[in-house]
Structure 1
Amino acid sequence: MTRAPSFKKYGLLGSLYLSQFMPFWFIFQALPVLLRQNGASLEAIGFLPALLIPISFKFLWSPFIDTYGFTRWGHYRFWIICFQSVVAILTVFCSFLNIEIHLPLVLIGLTLIALGSSSQDIAADALALGLLEPEERGVGNAVQGIGGAFGRAIGGGGMLILLGRWGWRTSLLSLAGMMLFALIPLLMHREKIPSCPRPLRLNPQQIAGGLRAYLKIFLEICQRPGMKTWLGILALATAGYNLSATMFRPFLVDIGWLEKDIGWLMGIFGMAMTVLGSLVTGLVISRLGRARSFLIALMLTILGILLQLLPTFGLTQVAVLYTVVGLSFFAVGMTGTTAFTIMMDKSHPEMAGTDYTFQTSVIPLFSIVSAALSGFVARFFGYQGVFLLGTILVAIAAILTLKFPHRLSPGRQGGDLRIE
């Protein structure tokens, strides 16, 4: 692909991940609070992330996005424009539904939005991998993290604030408008593909051979050096964090926090701390190395989850809650930037969407599983049980990272990644 000036490519990446995270985080953060206020049970809220199941299995159709496309518009650029436009249209459709009367239809619409957002993510990640040189990946992923943080702020905390002031319809129409507006940098970008992506043999005459070739793509990814260990670490870290994060929002509702207050805490302030974490990591990752940066991020995540225990013992002062959220979201920014940089290192340019997406799919898959279980853990063991279990899972991920730092490297870069 063409190598654009740094400020242009970073601006493009920021806008892509801003638009991508807005609808996703509305489902993940704003909707649980809205449903809890309407009397939904913790178990029901825990299953709400099941709407994001398409994101977990997006790797299944990522080879098709790598292989096919209307290249006159730019291979991945074409897919991003199509999927983001569809998501905006679906958001407009959901805005005209009543959440109390048409809840099943709203959930179907949100599931389709998740499907479109996950498909857009495949193309966006591949476009990012082609834009960034290896030495730019740390800063590039920091920019992606910042764009994603603003997307989370708008889709999560911002939408909570808007829902309280403007209501359901106007808020969702505004969200759709922002997604279309975020397409402008991409419309100004010109993408060039230097070579044809690896073709898939999936024609009707050779369906058996095509299916074997298709499945072999994912098997080959798992067989790469260090990949299984890396995916296991990523799964544990994701499950541990989301197990606690899913229940922390309804916990705030239970102690009497209003939606606008939660929006400012989890959305606006949380977003700012995530941006800070991403910025810091982007500046230091080349100096500290991938594995060391990831280990530091995991240790901060463990501390952040442990601090969530304080409010369960009655320490619910505003300063305490902002400290808890601040540290947790700073760790999110640091973890995400480092993890996505490692994923890029482990991806091959000829199938960038598939390689990168296969790794990122671990995050939503284990987010959904842990979120679904979090409601049951909270019911039988309380919020304290959820936070302790989350701490244990992230701690195991940190131990594995400390023991196998070289597994986080795509090649012979042990000196860069060794933890001393």
Structure 2
Amino acid sequence: MISESIKKYLSPRVYPLLVLGIASGLPLALTGGTFQAWATVAGVSLKQIGFLTLVGTAYTFKFLWAPLIDRYAPLFLGRRRSWMVVSQVALGTVMLLMGLLNPAQDLIWLALLATTLAFLSATQDIAFDAYSTEVLDKDERAHGVAVRTLGYRIGMIISGGLGIVLAERWLGWGGMYMAMGCLMFVFAICSAIAPETREVQAPRTLQEAFIVPFKEFFSRPEALAILMLIVLYKLGDAFAGALSTTFLIRGAGFAAETVGWVNKILAVIATIIGALVGGALMNKLGLYRSLMLFGVLQAVSNLAYWLVAITPHNLPIMALAVGLENISGGMGTTAFVALVMGLCNSKYTATQFALLTALSSVGRVFLAGPLTPPLVESLGWPAFFLCTVLIALPGLFLLRWHKARIMAIE
């Protein structure tokens, strides 16, 4: 007999989130780690690579246009699926254009296209986050979040580790970006045939769409403290991962193709383990204890990169670091997304989810990206990774402070 847990993973509202999660996660590495690798191989300076992380600014400000996604439906597929299809087609087109350029000669144009890619990716995320929140029953939330987290991280690996291998060995960097663009067109078809969400009343006016969601959230007495928790919870993880690809290639001395193969094989296995185990544990432990346990694991896993830094060009240790990062990161993201879902008012899912997840990217975009290069240059890679463990601690302290509030939404 199939266990109750497995039945929930096979729910028609749950399993499609795997494919849709892959579509959501695919563009991120193409403006982040893979973009870094391409620029690194092309000889772009570390300082310029650090500033390229700013192309992801759109993820931080996506709440500014999220009300439009709550208010309108551009196609006949419903508000959520319509926006997913439109953004995925546009994403595929921009990826094809990026494939025609080279960072050594066209860095500014590539940066502009990557910024556009991040904007469209953030738009897709707004729609997908609202879709997955609304389509799931409450008792399916832990399993649904685990599946979408698994899909999201697989998407990052496809465009990250696998993308680097494809670029280095077979397709070239431009050809790889074009292949990813074609894949986005396939995902647009998948979104079009995904099950529709339950009927939720859309805001009747633009004023209601833009003002009421923020007014409702900020009227809560704990609103500002919750926002601080959202920003800090994954901050140590963000610093450790900001230049991880550049570190493995330039700092630890591994070939780009080697980094890609390790990310392709071990990261996929670790991601599957992290997401599925995270969902199962969260179902048993509850939201608060899962957030605390997974947050500690995220911080401790950064020590594996410190070990890589003090024993350069040691492939087993590098593989261990990549594996631990993906397991703990998958678990932490699963609990974090469940927290955000629980904090949203169902009437304004897209806008409030976008606000909270955008704030979670503040650390990655405005702190980790610009500050990591000078920290590495002044401290060196080993001391930097030790520092990322300390950076993770304030988020854990704040989580403990909000224990009662978080347990109330479980």
Q: What does 1:202-221 correspond to in 2, within 5 Å?
A: 202=207, 214-215=210-211, 217-221=213-217
Work out whether 1:199 is the aligned partner of 2:197.
no
Q: Offset of 1:106 from its aligned partner? A: 1.5
Give, in whole Å, the separation in 2 of the partners of 1:377 and 1:306: 17
Deviations 1:372-416 (A, max 9, x none): 11011111121233213311121221122233312324xx35xx6
Structure 2: distance between partners of 1:190 and 1:262? 37
* Paired position in structure 2 for 1:55: 59
Look up the SS of the partner of 2:31 in the other structure: helix
**What's 1:205 paired with?**
none
Taking structure 1 as the reference length, the TM-score comes to: 0.89
Q: For 1:375, which of 373, 376, 384 is the aligned residue? A: 373
Q: Counterpart of 2:189?
A: 184
Unaligned runs of 5+ in 1: 203-209
Contact 2:67 2:350 (C-alpha < 8 Å) held by counterparts: yes
Q: Tell me, yes or no, if the aligned pair for 2:165 and 2:260 is still in contact at 8 Å.
A: yes
Match in the other structure for 1:243? 239
| In 1, Cα distance between equivalents of 2:233 and 2:386 | 14
Q: Which residue of 1 aligns with 2:92?
A: 88
Paired residues of 1:227 and 1:407 also in contact (CA < 8 A): no
SS in 2 for 1:101: helix
CA deviations over 1:265-313 (Å, ceiling 9, x no partner): 2343223212211100111212101110011111111211123222222
Who is 1:359 aligned against?
A: 356
Report the secondary structure of 1:257's partner residue.
coil
> Does the CA-based 8 Å contact 1:75-1:191 persist in structure 2?
no
Farther off after superposition, 379-388 or 365-374: 379-388
Q: Find the aligned partners of 2:221 and 2:144 in 1 and give their Cα distance.
A: 25
Identity among equivalent pairs (%):
23
1:222 has 2:227 as partner: no
Deviations 1:37-57 (A, max 9, x none): 233232222222211111110
The structural deviation recorded for 1:249 is: 2.2
Are residues 1:233 and 2:237 paired?
A: no
TM-aligned CA deviation for residue 160 of structure 1: 0.3
Provide the aligned length of Structure 1 versus Structure 2: 400
Instruction: Report the residue type matching 1:328 in the other structure.
Output: E
Is the partner of 1:302 in helix, strand or coil?
helix
8 Å Cα contact 1:226-1:408 kept in structure 2: no
The CA deviation string for residues 110-137 of structure 1, in whole angstroms up to 9 with x for no partner, is 1111111101111111111111011111
- Give the C-alpha shift of residue 70 in structure 1: 3.8
Q: Quick one: which of 17, 20, 25 aligns to 1:16?
A: 20
Per-residue Cα deviation, 1:201-221 (whole angstroms, up to 9, x for no partner): 44xxxxxxx8xx835532432
- RMSD value over aligned CA atoms? 2.1
Contact kept in structure 2, 1:145 and 1:278, CA below 8 Å = yes
Relative to structure 1, is the Cα distance of residues 175 and 168 closer, same or farther in structure 2, using a 3 angstrom cutoff?
same
Contact 2:43 2:104 in 1 (8 A): no
1:116 to 117, 120, 139: 120
CA distance in 2, matches of 1:137, 1:244: 29
Q: In structure 2, what is the Cα distance between the partners aligned to 1:194 and 1:217?
A: 18
- Whichever residue aligns with residue 241 of structure 2, its letter is A
Cα distance in 1 for residues equivalent to 2:132 and 2:226? 21
The answer to whether the 8 Å contact 2:291/2:332 transfers is yes
Residue of structure 1 equivalent to 2:4 = none
CA distance in 1 between partners of 2:27 and 2:337 (Å): 20
Establish whether residue 164 from structure 1 lines up as the match of residue 168 from structure 2: yes
1:339 deviation in Å?
Answer: 0.5
Q: Deviations over 1:21-77 (max 9, x none)?
A: 112112211121222223323222222221111111000111111011246321211
State the TM-score, normalizing by the size of structure 2.
0.91
Inter-partner Cα distance in structure 2 for 1:310 and 1:80: 41
- Counterparts of 1:316 and 1:163, CA distance in 2: 22
Instruction: Specify whether residues 51 and 158 from structure 1 end up closer, same or farther in structure 2 by C-alpha distance, changes over 3 A only.
Output: same
CA contact (8 A) 1:145 1:275 kept: no
Match of 1:271 among 259, 268, 293: 268
Report how far residue 330 of structure 1 moved: 0.8
1:391 corresponding residue in structure 2: 389
Q: What CA distance in whole angstroms lies between the structure 2 residues aligned with 1:266 and 1:189? A: 29
CA distance in 1, matches of 2:302, 2:258: 21
